């Protein structure tokens, strides 16, 4: 039975020149779990806003075509009528919780409906129970982690007992373990209560396994709609730049090299099973050497021997409110190194890097930048050497044009006009922003604003570049671009430090990894060692990269799992195959 | 450390926290009235001391001590200013009554801080919003109030992040003369305002999606009900007011200097 049906739906925002999406015709049936994906700006979020009447009632603009939700024509009924049928969960957990306690927040919608108090109480308790946050009922939203906040948001719409729950990139701000929990909660709602789920996501590795159906949008149109395996394995998905799950990528690589796994896997478990089958099938009687030496790809670590540019010596930091954010951190970063600082929110990552440009001074211990103690110089002096790009570009953009924005720091540092002009031109050029130089930064898309923020820091050519959570809210293509850019900067000799919990991004960049938890360094070293140690990662609320999870499922066959991305895995498998079958693979 | 530490709500489970905010508010008003009524040292000292058990019962003594410490500077200023002006213009012949009077004014200030901090330390903003709602204030206003309270810490944190982001781009807030310093706040204010607007839009969207305005007759998950403790406090406050008025009208209050044999 259909619950949402659109026919030739086209919508243009009041300020938009072209439609945000056009001629969308879809039918979503009751009980389906639909994954909606596509590059940033493709119209996914806008489409979701139609499902509960935010468009056209809250946003005006021009809506053409037909849309019915739960049997009601969206244009003819007010938003609050849809609230009982369709629940919307948004990207930023912070901006959808209004009340001062969890319980009160979950009750908000029910109170608005004017339900009897006893029924509200009952439904609130039920929703808290189902989402697993009953213990948090009296807490204030700001005391919760992002993952907990997002579960409160889900409980809040769940309490309205909707038939459909639409989630718009609910895990963007979360670490992999919290994201996984969110997906498990919504998958449970789908299975146990038959609630239709529409999930907008970029993180397909984690989300794909729960979906029955995938819809891919690009440029305001639906380009693919079907069963996950088919969609991921299609040529269009690759061209558009959808984040195809690593397991599927491995399948494709192996196939290109002449090894067919039979069917398309979308999770690491499936891939492990299929590989196992192929390996045993090709060499059924031989048995497997358990002491087989797997050649681990060797990374150059020589760089670290060159002279240190950042020295952190037994640093403690306590915030004025008494929170101990760093508890005895020591590390050295050499010139030209590429470092990823990883760990869960609240592990002290951002606090640590804020010491590198003097924004924070240690409570105890000391930090030296090129031999100079940070306590003795101003932030402005240190900033010349250490560029810091903050997570959210909106926290720094304020000028009327992109050009002025990029020149802002140069003026602060007292560069002359001629140099400023040259540097601005250079920075705009390398970040592909030249065409926007006279445009207001506020008119640009999220990805473009992020690039302006990066350009405004790169302009003064700092020796050390720090990027705080650079991949948050970025789609697959943007991440790929960012990765290439960072690698290029690093190759040119810049010291680059990224703070992130995006494990796949790190697995592909392969920097030195520093793992933090509770204000201390858990591990520091080569990514192949750290990212493949599940126990270590769990303490930092991370999970191993998909690729190494595939190998971990084959541990008994002698693979030690020390590969972190699909190319490494495919290489190991093909090598093994050669040994087992004695057959040369092309 | 500041005297405002004593005004931030602390979530503790105590009999005082469970009291009806309306009654607590009445109590604060009575304390305020009585403290203003008297100018003599002895009754003000009594007012100061009789509130201490409440603080202990509410288990907020640490926050209270902090706010008292934070008030020291103000208290000293009040004392000195009163003493100086009374000494020169008050027409007193000796120094003792001057000191006594100034001390009384200072204690009065501390009594006010004390009673307000009992109220704010033990009353959650949620309860306060509820009290407003049940006192007939329109829901829109109550909602605006609790939401504002909810976002104070969020915005404070955001402002700090913006300051950090601009300092990382070489902005030096503490340099220059007054005019140029004020101008330096533009790079902080604009992102803060833009992000607040963005945030409010998102909030509005989330509110709409959760049936905001579906019915004029909204229910509330909680109801305030007067319990036994509330009636006790109510009675105590009324008695306190009556007793104070009686004393004020009929009982001559000795000053401290009269009690000390000279």
The domain spans of chain B are 3-122+225-254, 130-209
Gap from B231 CA to chain A (nearest CA, Å): 25
Q: Which parts of chain B register pLDDT below 50?
A: 1
Question: B146 and chain A: CB distance < 8 Å anywhere?
Answer: yes
Strands A464-468 and A308-318, by their bridges, are unpaired
- Those residues with Cβ within 8 angstroms of residue B70's Cβ, 6 or more apart along the chain or in another chain: B1, B2, B3, B4, B5, B6
Nearest to B170 among A58, A92, A383 (CB): A383
3 state SS of A566: helix
Nearest to B208 among A54, A359, A413 (CB): A54
3 state SS of B173: coil
pLDDT in tens, B119-130: 988 888 888 888
| Burial status of residue B151 (CB atoms within 10 A of its CB: 0-12, 13-18, 19 or more) | buried
pLDDT at B49: 93
Find the helix or strand (DSSP H, E) in which A372 lies. Answer: strand A372-373
Find the helix or strand (DSSP H, E) in which A513 lies. Answer: strand A512-517
Phi, psi angle pair for A189, to nearest 5°: -60, -40
3 state SS of A247: helix
- Those residues with Cβ within 8 angstroms of residue B61's Cβ, 6 or more apart along the chain or in another chain: B55
- Chain A residues close to B162, C-beta within 8 Å: 395-396
Q: Do B206 and A98 touch (CB under 8 A)?
A: yes
Q: Tell me how far apart the alpha carbons of residues B201 and B143 are, in angstroms, rounded to a whole number.
A: 16
Q: Do A157 and B222 touch (CB under 8 A)?
A: no
3 state SS of A6: strand
Gap from B4 CA to chain A (nearest CA, Å): 14
Q: Do B214 and A80 touch (CB under 8 A)?
A: yes
pLDDT in tens, A50-86: 999 999 999 989 999 999 999 999 999 999 999 999 9
Q: Where are the domains of chain A?
A: 2-246, 250-297+556-581, 302-525
Q: Do A58 and B187 touch (CB under 8 A)?
A: no
Q: Tell me how far apart the alpha carbons of residues A100 and A457 are, in angstroms, rounded to a whole number.
A: 38
H-only helix segments in A70-195: 79-82, 102-113, 117-130, 146-158, 176-193
Superfamily for the A2-246 domain: P-loop containing nucleotide triphosphate hydrolases (3.40.50.300)
End-to-end CA distance of chain A: 49
Among chain B residues, the shortest Cα distance to A455 is held by: B169
Nearest to A359 among B153, B168, B214 (CB): B168
Measuring CA to CA, which residue among A352, A376, A367 is closest to residue A308? A367
Task: Pick from B8, B139, B165, B175 the residue to mutate for testing the A interface (most A CBs within 10 Å).
Answer: B165
pLDDT at B262: 54
- Chain A residues close to B165, C-beta within 8 Å: 388, 390, 395-396
Task: Pick from A111, A136, A356 the residue to mutate for testing the B interface (most B CBs within 10 Å).
Answer: A111
Q: Do A98 and B165 touch (CB under 8 A)?
A: no
Among chain B residues, the shortest Cα distance to A118 is held by: B221
- Chain B residues close to A87, C-beta within 8 Å: 209
Residue A329 pairs with which residues in a beta bridge? A315
Q: Which parts of chain A register pLDDT below 70?
A: 282-305, 561, 580-586
Measuring CA to CA, which residue among A535, A455, A537, A536 is closest to residue A504? A537
Work out the angle at residue B179's Cα, subtended by the Cα atoms of residues B176 and B185, and round it to the nearest 5 degrees.
85
Among chain B residues, the shortest Cα distance to A166 is held by: B209
- Chain B residues close to A120, C-beta within 8 Å: 219, 221
Cis, bond preceding A197 (omega within 30 deg of 0): no
- Chain B residues close to A397, C-beta within 8 Å: 191, 194
Q: Do B167 and A379 touch (CB under 8 A)?
A: yes
3 state SS of A164: strand
Instruction: Identify whether the C-beta of residue A48 lies closer than 8 Å to the C-beta of residue A74.
Output: no
DSSP A363: S
Within 10 angstroms of residue A347's Cβ, the number of other Cβ atoms is 27
- Chain B residues close to A398, C-beta within 8 Å: 186-187, 190-191, 194
Question: B123 and chain A: CB distance < 8 Å anywhere?
Answer: no
Instruction: Identify whether the C-beta of residue A232 lies closer than 8 Å to the C-beta of residue A266.
Output: yes
Task: Pick from A50, A56, A79, A401 the residue to mutate for testing the B interface (most B CBs within 10 Å).
Answer: A79
Nearest to A99 among B126, B170, B172 (CB): B126
- Give the fold, CATH level 3, of A302-525: Rossmann fold (3.40.50)
Q: Tell me how far apart the alpha carbons of residues A162 and A146 are, in angstroms, rounded to a whole number.
A: 23
Q: Do A354 and B210 touch (CB under 8 A)?
A: no
Size of interface A-B (CB pairs under 8 A): 173
Cis, bond preceding A56 (omega within 30 deg of 0): yes
Q: Do A80 and B164 touch (CB under 8 A)?
A: no
Measuring CA to CA, which residue among B140, B115, B130 is closest to residue B20? B130
Question: B211 and chain A: CB distance < 8 Å anywhere?
Answer: yes
Question: B168 and chain A: CB distance < 8 Å anywhere?
Answer: yes
Measuring CA to CA, which residue among A267, A217, A275 is closest to residue A244? A267
Nearest to A112 among B126, B198, B212 (CB): B212
Nearest to A115 among B129, B195, B219 (CB): B219
Instruction: Identify whether the C-beta of residue A84 lies closer than 8 Å to the C-beta of residue A162.
Output: yes
Q: Do B164 and A95 touch (CB under 8 A)?
A: no
Task: Pick from A90, A358, A384, A412 the residue to mutate for testing the B interface (most B CBs within 10 Å).
Answer: A412
């Amino acid at each position: 039975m259909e619950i949402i049906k659109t026919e030739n739906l086209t919508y243009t925002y009041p300020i938009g020149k072209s439609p945000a999406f056009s001629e969308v015709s879809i039918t979503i049936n009751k009980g389906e779990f639909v994954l909606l994906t596509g590059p940033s700006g493709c119209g996914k979020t806008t489409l979701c806003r139609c499902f509960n009447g935010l468009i056209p009632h809250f946003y005006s603009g021009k809506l053409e075509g037909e849309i019915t939700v739960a049997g009601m024509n969206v244009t003819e009924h007010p938003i609050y009528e849809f609230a009982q049928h369709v629940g919307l969960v948004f990207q930023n957990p912070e901006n959808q919780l209004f009340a001062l306690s969890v319980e009160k927040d979950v009750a908000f919608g029910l109170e608005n409906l004017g339900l009897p108090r006893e029924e509200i109480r009952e439904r609130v308790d039920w929703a808290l129970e189902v989402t697993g946050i009953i213990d948090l009922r009296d807490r204030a939203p700001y005391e919760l982690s992002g993952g907990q906040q997002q579960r409160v948001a889900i409980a809040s719409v769940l309490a309205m007992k909707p038939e459909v729950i639409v989630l718009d990139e609910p895990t963007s701000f979360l670490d992999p373990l919290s994201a996984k929990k969110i997906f498990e909660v919504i998958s449970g709602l789908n299975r146990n209560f038959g609630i239709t789920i529409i999930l907008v996501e970029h993180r397909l590795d984690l989300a794909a396994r729960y979906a029955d159906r995938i819809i891919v949008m690009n440029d305001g149109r639906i380009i693919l709609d079907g069963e996950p395996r088919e969609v991921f394995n299609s040529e269009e998905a690759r061209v558009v730049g959808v984040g195809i799950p690593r397991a599927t990528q491995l399948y494709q690589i192996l196939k290109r090299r002449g090894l067919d796994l039979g069917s398309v896997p979308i999770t690491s478990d499936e891939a492990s099973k299929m590989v196992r089958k192929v390996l045993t099938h090709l060499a059924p009687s031989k048995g497997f050497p358990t002491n087989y030496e797997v050649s681990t790809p060797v990374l150059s670590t020589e760089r670290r021997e060159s002279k240190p540019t950042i020295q952190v010596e037994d640093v403690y930091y306590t915030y004025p409110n008494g929170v101990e954010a760093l508890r005895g951190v020591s590390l050295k970063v050499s010139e030209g190194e590429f470092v990823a600082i990883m760990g869960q929110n609240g592990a002290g990552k951002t606090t640590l890097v804020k010491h590198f440009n003097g924004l924070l001074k240690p409570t105890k211990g000391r930090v030296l930048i090129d031999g100079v103690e940070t306590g003795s110089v101003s932030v402005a002096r240190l900033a010349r050497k250490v560029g810091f790009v903050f997570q959210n570009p909106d926290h720094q953009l304020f000028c009327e044009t992109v050009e002025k924005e990029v020149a802002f720091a140069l003026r602060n540092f007292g560069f002359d006009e001629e140099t400023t002009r040259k540097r601005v031109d250079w920075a705009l050029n390398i970040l592909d922003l030249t065409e926007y130089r006279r445009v207001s930064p506020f008119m640009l898309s999220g990805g473009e604003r992020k690039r302006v923020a990066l350009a405004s820091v790169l302009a003064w050519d700092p020796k050390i570049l720090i990027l705080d959570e650079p991949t948050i809210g970025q789609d697959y293509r943007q991440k790929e671009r960012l990765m290439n850019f960072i690698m290029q900067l690093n190759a040119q000799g810049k010291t680059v430090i990224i703070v992130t919990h995006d494990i796949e991004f790190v697995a592909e960049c392969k920097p030195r990894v520093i793992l933090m938890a509770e204000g201390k360094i858990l591990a520091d070293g080569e990514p192949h060692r750290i990212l493949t140690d599940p126990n270590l990662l769990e303490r930092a609320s991370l999970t191993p990269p998909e690729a190494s999870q595939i190998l971990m499922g084959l541990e008994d066959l002698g693979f030690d799992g020390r590969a972190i991305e699909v190319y490494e895995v495919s290489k190991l498998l093909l090598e093994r195959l050669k040994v087992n079958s004695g057959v040369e693979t092309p | 450390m500041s005297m405002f530490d004593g005004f931030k709500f602390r979530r503790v489970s105590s009999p005082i926290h469970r009291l009806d905010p309306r009654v607590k508010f009445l109590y604060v008003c009575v304390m305020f009235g009585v403290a203003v009524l008297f100018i003599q040292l002895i009754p003000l000292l009594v007012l100061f001391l009789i509130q201490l058990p409440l603080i202990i019962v509410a288990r907020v003594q640490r926050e209270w001590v902090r706010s008292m410490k934070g008030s020291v500077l103000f208290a000293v200023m009040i004392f000195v200013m009163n003493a100086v002006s009374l000494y020169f213009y008050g027409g007193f012949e000796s120094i003792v009554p001057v000191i006594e009077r100034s001390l009384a004014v200072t204690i009065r200030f501390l009594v006010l801080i004390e009673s307000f901090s009992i109220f704010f330390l033990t009353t959650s903003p949620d309860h306060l919003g509820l009290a407003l709602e049940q006192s007939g204030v329109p829901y829109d206003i109550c909602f605006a109030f609790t939401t504002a309270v909810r976002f104070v810490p969020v915005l404070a944190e955001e402002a700090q992040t913006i300051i950090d982001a601009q300092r990382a781009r070489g902005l030096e807030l503490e340099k220059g003369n007054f005019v140029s310093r004020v101008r330096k706040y533009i790079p902080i204010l604009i992102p803060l305002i833009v992000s607040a607007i963005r945030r409010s839009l998102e909030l509005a969207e989330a509110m709409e999606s959760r049936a905001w305005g579906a019915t004029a007759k909204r229910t509330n998950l909680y109801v305030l009900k007067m319990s036994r403790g509330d009636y006790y406090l109510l009675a105590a406050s009324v008695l306190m007011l009556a007793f104070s008025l009686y004393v004020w009208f009929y009982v001559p209050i000795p000053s401290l200097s009269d009690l000390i044999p000279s």
